[in-house]
Chains A and B, each alone.
Chain A
Amino acid sequence: MRFRQRAPLGILLVLVSCLSVGSANAIGQSTQIDDAQSKLVQAFVLVRQADLEGASPGQISLLANNLNLALGYEDNATLLFSKDINASNFYASKSVSLSNATSAQALSLTSAARTQTFLNQVAAYSIAVAAGFGSALFVLEFDRLDNLVRRMRLRRTRLN
C-alpha cells in the first residue's frame, strides 16, 4: 500500500528532474559560460568602484579594454556552444581568467585611488590650515612689518 502511494510521487520527481535537465539544454548555455558571465559582471563592478574612487581615466580605459576582450571571449564561447563544446569551454575559461585578472587589478587600483584621495585631502587641508595661520600672523604683525619697511626705506634715502 505504501509503495503504491509513493510510486506516483517518485515518478513525478523523476519527471521533474528530467524536465529541468531538458530546459537547461534548451536554454543552451553551459555552466562555464554562466561562470564567465558572472565573473565578467564581478570585474565590471570592481572596475566601476575603482573609477568612482578616482582612479585615472587612462587606467580605467585599460581595464575597460580587458573587459571588452573578456566579453568577446564569452561571445565566442556562446557562439561555439552548439558547434564545438571544447572550443566553447576554452573561450569561456579564457574569459574567466581575464575577468579574474581584471578584478585583481581593479581592486589594487581602488586601494591606490583611495590612498591618493586621502593624501590629496590631507595635503589640501594642511595647506589651508598653514595658510590660515600665516594670514592670521600677517594681520597681527602687519604694524611691525610696516615699521620695518619704513626703516629700510629711510636707510636707503640716507645712503643716497
Chain B
Amino acid sequence: MLLLFGSFSLVYSSVAYYSLSRPPSQEFIAWGVFSPSGTLSKYFSGASANVARGQTQNWHFAITNQMGSIQYVQVVYRLANRTSADPNATVPGSTVSQLGNRSIFIPNAQTGFVNFTWSINSTSPSPGGMVFITMTINGRQVSPSVGAIGGQGFRFFFELWTFDIASNSFQYGYKGQSSRVGVPLQVWFNSV
C-alpha cells in the first residue's frame, strides 16, 4: 500500500510541478521606427529622403517587450554621416555623440510607443563643402557636431538600451542568453 501510494504521489507531484513551472521561452525585445502612416517605410513625404528646413517629421518607435518581466527601456539617438562607424550587435555608435534619449517602462508581452518628432532648423555650409545642421527633436534644440558633404548622407542612429539593476545604469541592448544583444536601427536623409 505504502509503495503504491508513494509511487502514485511521485507521479502526480511531478505533474503538479510541471504545471506550476514557467514555460521556457526565448527572451527578446523587438522594435522599429515607424512613419506617420504606421509603416516601416515612406518616412519622407517625397520619393527621395530629402528634408527641407522647417519640414516636421512625425515618426514613432514601437517597442515590444518579450523579456518575461517589465523593462525600463531607453531609446538613444545620434546623428551620423556616411563615414561614421555603425553601431552593431555588441557596440553602440559612440563615435558620434548622443543627441538625446527617451525612456519608457514596458510591461512584459506589451508594446510601448515613443514619439520622435524632428525638423531641421538651419543649415550652415562650411568652406570644405561640409554642411552642418541644427535641429529640433521632441521639442529640444540640438546642434550636432557631425556634418555631411553637401548635406547628403546624414544618418540617424537609433539604439535600444535597457536598465540593468545590477549596475544601476542603462546598458546597450538587452540581456540575451549568454551576452547583451544590441539591435540598432538607422535612417538616411539628406538636408536640402
Bound complex: CA A51 to CA B72 (Å) = 13
Q: Name the B residues within 8 Å of A64 (CB-CB).
A: 70, 105-107, 110
Q: Name the B residues within 8 Å of A79 (CB-CB).
A: 139-140
Bound complex: CA A41 to CA B5 (Å) = 50
By secondary structure, the A interface counts as helix
A45 within 8 A of B: yes
Contact assessment for A140 and B1 in the assembled complex, using a CB-CB cutoff below 8 Å: yes
Bound complex: CA A139 to CA B103 (Å) = 61
Per-residue CB contact flags for chain B residues 55-78 toward chain A (1 = under 8 Å, else 0) read 000000000000001101000000
Per-residue CB contact flags for chain B residues 4-30 toward chain A (1 = under 8 Å, else 0) read 111111111101100110000000000
Contact assessment for A60 and B107 in the assembled complex, using a CB-CB cutoff below 8 Å: yes
Contact assessment for A129 and B70 in the assembled complex, using a CB-CB cutoff below 8 Å: no
Q: Of the 9-residue stretches A2-10, A14-22, A118-126, which lies at the interface with chain B?
A: A118-126
Q: A139 — nearest CB in chain B belongs to which residue?
A: B4
A52 within 8 A of B: yes
Contact assessment for B12 and A128 in the assembled complex, using a CB-CB cutoff below 8 Å: yes
A127 within 8 A of B: yes
Other-chain contact of A41, B19, B108, B163 (Cβ < 8 Å): B163
A48 within 8 A of B: yes
Contact assessment for B70 and A124 in the assembled complex, using a CB-CB cutoff below 8 Å: no
A85 within 8 A of B: no
Q: Of the 9-residue stretches A25-33, A87-95, A130-138, which lies at the interface with chain B?
A: A130-138
Smallest beta-carbon distance A48→chain B, Å: 5
Other-chain contact of B13, A47, A57, A125 (Cβ < 8 Å): A125
Smallest beta-carbon distance B192→chain A, Å: 30
Q: Name the A residues within 8 Å of B107 (CB-CB).
A: 51, 57, 60-61, 64
Q: What's the interface size class on B, roughly?
A: 20 to 34
A36 within 8 A of B: no
Whether A127 contacts B108 in the complex (CB less than 8 A), given A41-B163, A48-B69, A133-B5, comes out as no
A96 within 8 A of B: no
Contact assessment for A124 and B19 in the assembled complex, using a CB-CB cutoff below 8 Å: yes
Bound complex: CA A57 to CA B4 (Å) = 41
Contact assessment for B8 and A131 in the assembled complex, using a CB-CB cutoff below 8 Å: yes
Smallest beta-carbon distance B8→chain A, Å: 4
Q: Which of B67-107 contact A (CB under 8 A)?
A: 69-70, 72, 103-107
Bound complex: CA A124 to CA B1 (Å) = 22
Q: Name the B residues within 8 Å of A48 (CB-CB).
A: 69-70, 165
Residue contacts A-B, CB under 8 angstroms, 12 given: A44-B163, A47-B70, A60-B70, A64-B106, A79-B139, A124-B19, A129-B12, A132-B6, A132-B9, A135-B12, A136-B4, A140-B1
5 additional contacts (CB under 8 A) given A44-B72, A135-B12: A44-B163, A51-B107, A128-B15, A128-B16, A132-B9
The 4 closest A-B pairs by CB, nearest first: A132-B9, A128-B12, A132-B8, A136-B4
